[in-house]
Structure 1
Amino acid sequence: MKIAFYGSSLLSAYWNGAATYYRGMLRALSARGYDITFYEPDVYDRQKNRDIDPPDWCRVVVYEGTIEALKAVAEEARHADIVIKASGVGFEDNLLLTEVLRHAPEHALRIFWDVDAPATLAELRADPGHPLRQALDTLDLVLTYGGGDPVIRAYRELGAVDCVPIYNALDPQTHHPVAPDQRFAGDLGFLGNRLPDREARVDEFFLIPAIRNPYQKFLLGGSGWGDKVMATNVNYIGHVGTADHNAFNVTPKAVLNISRSNMAETGFSPATRVFEAAGAGACLITDYWEGIPQFFAPDLEILVARDGHDVSDILDSLTTERAREIGAAALRRVLAEHTYDHRAEEADRVFRSARRRQVEAAE
């Protein structure tokens, strides 16, 4: 089956947190026989900061950030069996949704794939006339990369025919154990761009513990933190390219996951970095969110901190040997249950089920 997928970017992870998810999912779906074309706009300097070449498992069409170019690529939906519009494309999202659905053939599955359900649902609740909210009952399916039962219920209450989470996962070809790199040496590393809805939590879970643990070395990677006041034991290294993520994850004694506030409140929303770290065999400390045991066993495969004091306490007692044991256990778990091959199998099953419903409704 042919998929026309309209998303933010497959070729660039620059200010594009969905890149890892798209790459892992689409590569695994391609391996299952899907013929995929990914359409991405040339915006936010992403094309100047590509970190992969166009892959052989997916055709990529980059279009100019103009209305004319958007309408031209939206017309290509007419050739597809599955038409997918993702959230957060970054250029005229509402118009793109309207145009893509207008050109999707009658036989095609029409899917909205939400890579930031808490933010999207907040928009829909605030605006009854939102184009996506108006279109929900015309879609065959809403997929999300997180959220669990609260998100499923919310989408159904707003009119979606069905909503199914297809969670983040690991692409073992991209994220895997590597040798440590002394550029990333430290006791605790955190990798994340500076975002308004995450900054206060970074203060709480990372920067304040750095003050409380002055004899330990903290490593901060990501864009936008240059003018942030930090303790002298925090080494800020700026943007870390995807090619260095494995080394960043595996070199410090432990790495930290800090969810955006709305993701933490929603729960069942493991970020891609959770699986990236596990895939590298890293010892991961995560902030608390509901649903963690569905993915990793606390204290055995992951360490959980409810606040900055917990982070400090964990670091005080964490030995190198225990950190390695936790990282090894997390790697075993993620390879056994949480790869994109597992997710693609689930997505394939969901597509086929939606197709059956579509055929039955037409009879």
Structure 2
Amino acid sequence: MKIAFYGSSLVSSYWNGAATYYRGILHALARRGYDITFYEPDAFDRQQHRDIDAPDWCRSVVYPATEEGLRGVLAEAGGADIVVKANGVGVFDRELLEGVVARARPGALRLFWDVDAAATLDEMRADALHPVLAALPDLEMVLTYGGGPPVVGAYEGFGAAACVPVYNALDPATHHPVPADDRFACDLAFLGNRLPDREARVEEFFLRPAASLSDRRFLIGGNGWETKAMPANVRHRGHVYTAEHNAFNASPLAVLNVARDSMAHVGFSPATRVFEAAGAAACLITDAWEGIEQFLKPDDEVLVARDGQDVADHLAALTPERAKAIGEAALRRVLAEHTYELRGAQVDALFKAAMAERRVAA
């Protein structure tokens, strides 16, 4: 079956936290025989900060971020069996979603894949004319990056025919243990772009512990932090390319995950960083959110912090031996239960079931 997937970027993680999610799931689907084309706009300097070349398992189409470029890629939607619009493309999001609905051939599956469901749902509650609300009656399925029962219930309440979370996971061929790298040596590292709905939580869970533990070393990676005032013991790394993620995660004593406001509020939304860190056998400290036990066991496979003081206490008590044990336990758990191969099998089953229902209905 042919998939036409309209997303932010497959080849670049620059201002694009969903890149490894797309790569992991779509590569797993390609291994199951799907013929995939990924359409992404040339926008936000992503093409100047590529992490990977166009993969051999997927046709990659980079189109000009113009109305003419948009028309060109939407014209190809009619040749696919499954047409997917992901949220957060950044340009022509409304037009892409409307185009997917209008241009898909009769009998094709039309999907919205939401990699920021909590925020999208907040927008829908505030805007009765939101494009996703308008599209839901014509979509066979909504897939989400996470969110658990609260997100499923909200989407179905808005009229989605089906809503299924497809959680982040690990691609062990990409994220795995490596030797420590002095460039990333520190006591606690955090990787994430500076975003309005994340910054206050980074201040609480990362900068506050850094200020209280002046004798410890902290490292922050990601875009946008260069203008942020920070304690003297915090070093800013800037954009960290995907190829550097393993060393970034494997070199510190511990790494920190901080959810965005909306994801922390809803819960059941582990970021890609959670599985990347676990894949590198890193000792992960995460802010508290509902549903974490579904992915990693607190105290044994992950350390959970309610606030910045908890982070500081975890770090002060953490020995290299315990950090190693937690990281190794996390790696075993994600390899057993949370790989993109397993997520690919889940999505494959969803697609086949939906196609079978269409045939019966026809």
TM range (shorter): over 0.9
Name the counterpart of 2:105: 105
* Residue 357 of structure 1, CA deviation: 2.1
Cα distance in 2 for residues equivalent to 1:191 and 1:174: 17
* 1:311-326 alignment, distance < 5 Å: 311-326=311-326
1:350 alignment counterpart: 350
For residues 318-348 of structure 1, the C-alpha deviation after alignment (integer angstroms, 9 at most, x for no partner) is 1100000000000001111101000000001
Q: 2 CA distance for matches of 1:131 and 1:15?
A: 23
Contact 1:181 / 1:251 at 8 angstroms: preserved in 2? yes
1:247 matched to 2:247: yes
Aligned to 1:215: 215
Output one character per residue of 1:250-286: Cα deviation in whole Å (capped at 9) or x when no partner.
1000000000011100100000000000000000000
Tell me the residue number matched to 2:283: 283
Q: What SS class does the counterpart of residue 84 from structure 2 fall into?
A: strand
Query: What residue in structure 2 maps to residue 205 of structure 1?
Result: 205
Question: What is the alpha-carbon distance in structure 2 between the residues aligned to residue 333 and residue 144 of structure 1?
Answer: 22
Amino acid at match of 2:67: I
Contact 1:143–1:166, Cα closer than 8 Å, also in 2: yes
Q: Which residue of 2 aligns with 1:21?
A: 21
Q: Which residue of 2 aligns with 1:115?
A: 115
TM-score of the superposition, structure 2-length normalised? 0.99
Tell me the secondary structure at the aligned position of residue 68 of structure 1.
helix
CA distance in 1, matches of 2:62, 2:238: 28
Letter matched to residue 275 of structure 1: F
1:294-305 aligned at under 5 Å gives the runs 294-305=294-305
Q: Percent identity?
A: 65
* 8 Å CA contact 2:14, 2:239 repeated in 1: no
- Aligned AA for 2:293? P
CA contact (8 A) 2:180 2:250 kept: yes
SS of the aligned residue for 1:232 comes to: coil
Tell me by how many angstroms 1:93 deviates. 0.5
Q: 1:354: how far off? A: 1.3
CA distances 1:5-61 after superposition (whole Å, capped 9, x unpaired):
000000111101110100001111100111000000111111111110000000001
CA distance in 2, matches of 1:160, 1:329: 38
Residue 49 in structure 1 maps to residue 49 in structure 2: yes
May I ask how many residue pairs the two structures share in their alignment? 362
- Give the CA deviation at 1:233: 1.2
Q: d(CA) in 2 for partners of 1:130 and 1:157?
A: 15
**Matched residue type, 2:206:** F
- Indicate conservation of the 8 Å contact 1:188/1:255, yes or no: yes
Cα drift, residue 225 of structure 1: 1.2
Contact 1:75 / 1:100 at 8 angstroms: preserved in 2? no
- Which residue number corresponds to residue 95 of structure 1? 95
Matches within 5 A, 1:171-250: 171-250=171-250
Match of 1:71 in 2: 71
Q: Deviations over 1:177-226 (max 9, x none)?
A: 11100111111111111111111101100001011111111111112111
Shift of 1:113: 0.4
Question: Displacement of 1:118 after TM fit?
Answer: 0.9
SS of corresponding position for 1:198: helix
Q: How far apart, CA to CA, are the structure 2 residues paired with 1:239 and 1:48?
A: 13
In structure 2, C-alpha distance between the alignment counterparts of 1:8 and 1:298, rounded to whole Å:
33
CA RMSD of aligned residues (A): 0.8
Q: Does 1:265 align with 2:265?
A: yes
AA aligned to 1:180 is: A
Mapped to 2, the partners of 1:271 and 1:254 lie a distance apart of: 17
Deviation at 1:165, TM superposition (A): 0.3
The CA distance in 2 between the partners of 1:158 and 1:18, in whole Å, is 25
Is 2:293 the partner of 1:293? yes
Q: 1:135 is aligned with what amino acid?
A: A
Distance 1:197 1:276 in 2: 22
The amino acid across from 1:312 in the alignment is A
Q: What SS does structure 2 have at the residue aligned with 1:197?
A: helix
SS of 1:226 mapped into structure 2: helix
d(CA) in 2 for partners of 1:179 and 1:160? Answer: 46
* Separation of aligned partners in 1, 2:21 and 2:328: 23
5+ residue gaps in structure 1?
Answer: none
For the residue of structure 1 that corresponds to 2:227, the secondary structure is: coil
Residue aligning to 1:274: 274
1:356, distance to aligned residue in structure 2 (A): 2.1
Query: What letter matches 2:11 in structure 1?
Result: L
Q: CA deviation at 1:227?
A: 2.1
Q: How far 1:158 sits from its partner (Å)?
A: 0.5
Residue 301 (structure 1) shift: 0.5
SS of the residue 1:44 aligns to? coil
**AA of the residue aligned to 1:199:** E
Q: Could you tell me which residue of structure 1 aligns to residue 154 of structure 2?
A: 154
1:133 paired residue number: 133
Report how far residue 360 of structure 1 moved. 2.5
Q: Report the CA distance between 1:166 and its aligned residue.
A: 0.4
State the distance in 2 between where 1:237 and 1:62 align: 28
Offset, 1:241? 1.5
Conservation of the 8 A alpha-carbon contact between 2:100 and 2:110 = no
Paired residues of 1:71 and 1:96 also in contact (CA < 8 A): no
**Letter aligned with residue 223 of structure 2:** S
Per the alignment, residue 361 of structure 2 pairs with 361
Helix, strand or coil: the match of 2:325? helix
How far off its partner does 1:131 sit? 2.1
1:352, 1:334 → 2: CA distance? 26
Aligned partner of residue 298 in structure 2, secondary structure: coil
